[in-house]
Each structure stands twice: as structure tokens, then as C-alpha cells.
Structure 1
Amino acid sequence: MTPSINRRKFMSTAALAGAGLGLGSHLPAFSNTKKMRNDKRVGIIGLDTSHSVAFTKAFNAADAKEDLGGYKVVAAYPHGSKDIVSSVKRIPEYTEQIQEFGVEIVDSIEALLEKVDYILLETNDGRLHLEQALEVFRAGKPVFIDKPIAASLAHTLAIFDAAEKYNVPVFSSSSLRYMENLMAVNEGKIGAVLGADTYSPATLEPTHPDLFWYGIHGVETLYAVMGVGCKQVKRTYTEGADLVVGTWEDGRIGTFRGTRAGSHSYGGTAFGEEGIASLGPYGGYRPLLVEIAKFFATGKSPVSPEETIEIFTFMEAADVSKKKKGQAVALADVLKKAKSEASKLKIQS
């Protein structure tokens, strides 16, 4: 790699490498997306996460800045996980809180879709996202799907296939992608990124693959600076933490450490041709909300489906490596299996 290569050029090269995994076939072509309405009514699906209240508070604030686009949350459907206790018990409290911002509570997604133009799919339980997203896609509403986009790689693939089928814009991301120092790295602060180490909490939820529930934050941080093109992962467990080591097609190494100690620290280190940079600290949701507002306005996701799919392939491959006691697992093999599973899903038009 020569010093003259900038990160944008490198990301394009890495994307071509990632296409070798077959990810490109799941890149929805939204060039024919219908022109967005002038209405800026936003609806929320799922009041079992604090994100729903925090996002509404920001969008609906009387002094909301122009970069939030004038979008307002006007209605919400509360449900939510049906069996994750930590999520279910939050719904009454968050329903009451969100009503303080003038949000109408409705009794179905169908009723919600009649009242809004854009959707924030906030349900904490990724197992429900495919079913819920399909209702939104059929109604033709652009949708942001909060982490995790799904509770399996097969469902992740199915969501993007359905979005392409219905020609509906979809965007999914952790807010960690938009940390200030990370963005500076992406803008060339340290030149081309040669490798990175990231970390975040990785608490477990039995209904989801290990890293899908919370480790997604640190994995997304890793991909935000490394880009696509990882070919294999190895996962080991040390005292109180998971360590996942990814090897990219061009030989670069990226690692993710997921902690179990109850710490809520997020961040990492990026190593570049022109220096080394810290990726933290985490600065909150606002930068993500600005990106969501841009997405609603343009219908263009700032994160490609290809990248989101590879992030979830990386995490699912890490689970396979764990079961194989730390053996290296090829992302291409995991993706192939998931594609087969996705093709068997019965999704009604």
C-alpha cells in the first residue's frame, strides 16, 4: 500500500474485495426511489428501548437544530419484545414518557403506517425485525432499523432482499459509527488505515447470537474504519472478555474485544500510515440522528447494505469460531450457509 492511497480510494478497493463474498448481490438499487414527500411525520415501532424516548426528545425539541431536518415523531406502536424480560418491563414506562412529547400511541403497525411518512424501527428484539420491516416495506415507507438489524444473518439477508423487492430505502447502524474521533480518521487524519483494535460491552442475551445483542457496537466501530473485505475470523474467550481477530483480504488485521465486566466504555485505536488515533470517546446519539434526517430527506443510506451484511457475517462467523474452540472461520462459508437459510424463508408478498 503506498502512502498516496487515501481512505476513500482504499474503501472502494476493499468493497471490491468484499464483493468476492457475494455481498454485492444484496446491494439494493434505490436509484429509482420515489420522491420523498414534504411531510415529515415520523413513527416509531417499539417502545422497549430507551432509544425511542431519546430519539423523540431530540427530534421533537422546540429548539431542535436545522440539521435534524424538521422531522417530528408523531405516533408510536409500543410492542416490542414479547419475552425478553428486560425489554418487556420497560414498555409501560417508555410509553408514558414518549406521550409527554405529544406522541400518539396506536394499537398496530398498520394504524401507525397510516399516520406517518418515515419509520424508526426501534424494537429491541432483533427476532421481530423482519416481520415488522415487511409491513413497512409494503407500505413504501423509508425505515431506519436500530441495532441489531436482525437476530440472524439469514434474516439480515432477507430484510435487504425485501427492501430491494419493494424498492424502499433502509438504513441500519450503531451510533458508535459516528464518534467524532472516528469520523476524523475517516476524513484522513492518519492517512490510510492499516489496522484497528476496538472494544465495547458485549453483554449476552440468550435469544440472540452472542455479539448481535450488544457487541454489535464495537464491531460496527471496527468496520467503520476498516471497511469491508474481511475474509476470516478467530474468536477466543479470555477472563471477562471475548476477543475476535479478523483478517482482511489485503492482509490487514482488525480486532474486537467485547467486555463482560459491566463497563460501558466504547472506543478503540486505529493505526494509519501517518499516525495513530483513538476512536473514542462516545459522544451520544445526536450525530446518528443527523444521519437519519439526511437519510429520510434523500432516501440514501450512508452505510451500504453490503457493509451491514458483512458486519453480521463477521459476528455470526465469530459464533461459529467459538463453537470450534477458536478455529479460523471463513466469512464466505458462513454467508453461503445463511443465503441457503434465507432462501427457505417463506415471505408473503
Structure 2
Amino acid sequence: MTKRWISIKAGVLATVMALLSGFGIAQNVTKGKRVGIIGLDTSHSIAFTKAMNSPTAGDSFLGYKVVAAYPQGSLDIQSSVDRIEGYTKEIQNYDVEIVASIEELLTKVDVVLLETNDGRRHLEQALPVLKAGKRLFIDKPMAASLSDAMAIFDAAEHYNVPVFSASSLRYIAKMDEVASGKAGKVLGAETFSPCKLEPTHPDFFWYGIHGVEPLFTAMGTGCKTVVRVSTADTDMAIGTWSDGRIGSFRGLRGGKAGYGGVVFGEKEIITLGSYNGYNPLLEEIVRFFESGVLPFPKEETLEILAFMEAADWSKKKGGIPVSMEDVMKKAEKESKKKIKL
């Protein structure tokens, strides 16, 4: 073989590698940084992969790359099931291997993004991940019931594996100003978001969570009662906190949709901005993968789910106040029956 031929082959290889890099191909992923995805029935799977595997990602995601995915998320929610084939093809553009089972996925990755759109499947899909000792992020909703979420956290504690869940709206624009104390003590908040309904999930669990999560991000825990008013186009859920503060969520199904809110503080009233994209959440996920430290207490996640479940109770009872403590106690009993550790 001549030197000239070797040179040509080397040049062709360099060109191919450059082209692959240009398409965001993840190469030579360091062990410990390999990310797996469960569920290709949501656009979040593609958005997260595109960001993390981009050649321009730099240090934003600390070298973490998506390397494998198990496609099967939802089984019977047609709007989600219909996405799987297309997203499975699309994610392979980023050099992601498609695997046949969660068990196979776990042999190829170090941490996991559970992206399945159907919250009813999250408990069953989370358990093998936790048992395998892989740090786990669960996309919204953490589960389709408060009791399932409690069971997931119990399993995480049993296997000593950290897990957290969040909506990307936790990082809505201007929320960082609230967190920094610019408004002083938060005295109340009002948030809003689209609130599409899905018959297989409690009303707010499917989409309203995007507005409930920033409400609790601003207010913190301590909600004691929830009252809900519901019409065809609008939901209003009002929570009263133990210290007398009031926080509310408005769910939108009619008219112009959007995300936002107002936080009322001792020093200032802050109007929350628009949706801030996926990257703030994704950067938080990567820090969690790296450190194993939850970005906020699990109690806050459970209270978010309890608020949404209490809102359903209130609707069914004609809009009367519902005790968060009652909702929590019932769910805790139910959670103990769901797993055997």
C-alpha cells in the first residue's frame, strides 16, 4: 500500500468524522457519562438528546451524552403511541442505539432519563433502574398518582439510589429572581398554563403540572387545603398555606394559551416571564447525575402531586375545600400495597 493511498484513506476518514461531528454524533462517551432514555413517545426525548449530543454543547452538560434508548413508552394513549416510530428514527440521527428492553438498556448506560409520556407506567419502569443502581430523572408527571410517586421514592430509598422529577417550567424566566430573594418573603403567587385533559390521568397530572410546579417553586411547601372551580375552558385551584398565604393555579383550555404568573413579595411583585426552554432543566439534571444530590427536597414533589390530587377531590365534591393531609394519608396507605421491597 503506497503512502499516497494511506494519505487518501486518512483524509477520507477525517472528512467522515468531521461530518458525523457536524450532525451531533456522540463519540467516545466516557464511562460514567452514558445516558439512557426510556420512552420515545415524547418530544422531550428528542430535545434532550439534541442538546446533550450537540458538538457545540461544550461544558454545559459535563460530557454526558445519550447513547441508548428503549422506545416503548405509552401503550394505549394514541397521541403518544403514534409518535414512537418517528422519534425512534429521528433519535438515531444522533448516534443513539435502539435497544429491545429496559434490561438491555441498563447494561449500556450509567444514568437514565425516564421520558415515557404515560405516568401510569413510571413506577413499573423506574423499579428496574433503581434496582440496578442507576441515578434516575423522571419527566413530568412523576407518576399518574401520588401513591405511585411515594412508592418510587420508597424504592429509591431502599436501593439507596437518588431520583427526582420536575417540569421544565420550574425554571421559567424570572423565577431565579424569586429564588435569589429579590421580592423578599413570598406572600403569595398566581400561576397559569395550558391544562389539556387526558382521561387516563387525573386532570392536572397530564399538562396542568406545568403551571402547578412553578407555583410551588415560588411558594414552597406547607399547603394545607385546596379548593377547585372547574368549567369547560378553565380551571382554578386555590391553595391555602399553613401560614395564611394563598397560592393559585389557573388552567387554560380556551382562548390564547401560555405560561406565566405573578409572585407577590414583601419587597416587590415579580411577573414571571415566558417559557425558558429545556436547557435550564437539563443542566440541573446533569448536575444531579454528577453529584447524586437532589436539587430540591422530595417533599416538594410529593406536595405538588398532592395539590393536584386534592384539586381532583375538590372537583368531585362540588368545589369544597380538601385537606392535603387527608390526601397524603390515603396515598401513603395505597403506596405500601404497590411494591414489596
Question: TM exceeds 0.5?
Answer: yes
Where do residues 21-40 of structure 1 align in structure 2 (5 Å cutoff)? Answer: 39-40=32-33
- Give 5+ residue unaligned stretches, structure 1: 1-36
SS in 2 for 1:214: helix
Distance 1:239 1:206 in 2: 14
Amino acid at match of 2:210: H
Give me the TM-score of the superposition, normalised by structure 2. 0.90
Name the SS of the counterpart of 1:42 in structure 2.
strand
Residue 30 of structure 1 is matched in structure 2 by none
Is the aligned partner of 1:97 residue 2:90? yes
Bigger drift between 238-247 and 112-121 goes to 238-247
Aligned to 2:250: 257
In structure 2, do the counterparts of structure 1 residues 205 and 262 end up closer, same or farther at CA, with 3 Å as the change threshold?
Answer: farther
Offset at residue 262 of structure 1 (A): 6.5
Q: Does structure 1 residue 288 correspond to structure 2 residue 286? A: no
Residues 31 and 110 in structure 2, CA contact (< 8 A), matched pair in contact too? no
Instruction: Tell me how far apart the structure 1 counterparts of residues 149 and 255 of structure 2 sit (CA, whole Å).
Output: 28
Higher-Rg member (1/2): 2
In the alignment, does 2:203 pair up with 1:210? yes
1:41-190 superposed matches below 5 A: 41-190=34-183
Q: Hey, what does 2:16 align to over in structure 1?
A: none
Q: Give the drift of 1:190.
A: 1.0
Deviations 1:294-314 (A, max 9, x none): 001100110211000000000
Using CA pairs under 8 Å that are at least 6 residues apart, name the structure with larger relative contact order, 1 or 2: 1
The one-letter amino acid paired with 2:118 is D
Q: Report how far residue 263 of structure 1 moved.
A: 4.1
Secondary structure of the residue that 2:108 maps to in structure 1?
coil
- Partner of 1:240 in structure 2? 233
Match 2:302 to one of 304, 309, 313: 309
Partner secondary structure for residue 100 of structure 1:
helix
Q: What is the total number of aligned residue pairs between the two structures?
A: 312
- Residue-by-residue CA offset, 1:36-84 (whole Å, 9 max, x unaligned): x962000000000000000000000001031211100000000010000
Structure 2, unpaired ranges of 5+: 1-29
Taking the aligned partners of 2:63 and 2:255, their CA distance within structure 1 comes to 37
Read off the aligned partner of 1:167 and give its amino acid letter: N
Contact 1:222–1:256 (CA<8 Å) still a contact in 2?
yes
For residues 164 and 309 of structure 2, what CA distance do their matches in structure 1 show?
Answer: 20
Within 1, Cα distance between the matches of 2:315 and 2:34? 44
Q: Distance in 2 between matches of 1:210 and 1:273?
A: 33
Counterparts in 2 of 1:310-325, with a 5 A limit? 310-325=303-318
Separation in 1 of the partners of 2:68 and 2:126? 17
Quickly say closer, same or farther: Cα 1:269–1:73, change in 2 above 3 A.
same
> Using the alignment, how far apart are the partners of 1:224 and 1:38 within structure 2?
34
3-state SS of 1:68 partner: coil
CA contact (8 A) 2:183 2:265 kept: yes
The one-letter code of the counterpart of 1:226 is: M
- 1:329 corresponding residue in structure 2: 322
How far the C-alpha of 1:152 sits from its partner, in A, is 0.6
Structure 1 residue 239: Cα displacement:
5.5
Identity percentage over the alignment? Answer: 63
Contact 1:172 1:303 in 2 (8 A): no
Q: CA RMSD in A?
A: 1.1
Q: Counterpart of 1:292 in structure 2: which amino acid?
A: I
Amino acid of the structure 2 residue aligned with 1:207: T
Within 1, Cα distance between the matches of 2:76 and 2:232? Answer: 30
Q: Separation in 1 of the partners of 2:232 and 2:106?
A: 47
Question: How far apart are the structure 2 equivalents of 1:102 and 1:189?
Answer: 43
For residue 180 of structure 1, report the CA deviation from its aligned partner: 2.8
Supply the distance in 2 between the matched residues of 1:157 and 1:262 (Cα, whole angstroms).
36
Paired with 1:107 and 1:38, the residues of 2 have a C-alpha distance of: 21
- Are the counterparts in 2 of residues 48 and 88 from structure 1 also a CA contact under 8 Å? yes
Q: Distance in 2 between matches of 1:168 and 1:263?
A: 42
CA contact (8 A) 1:173 1:303 kept: no
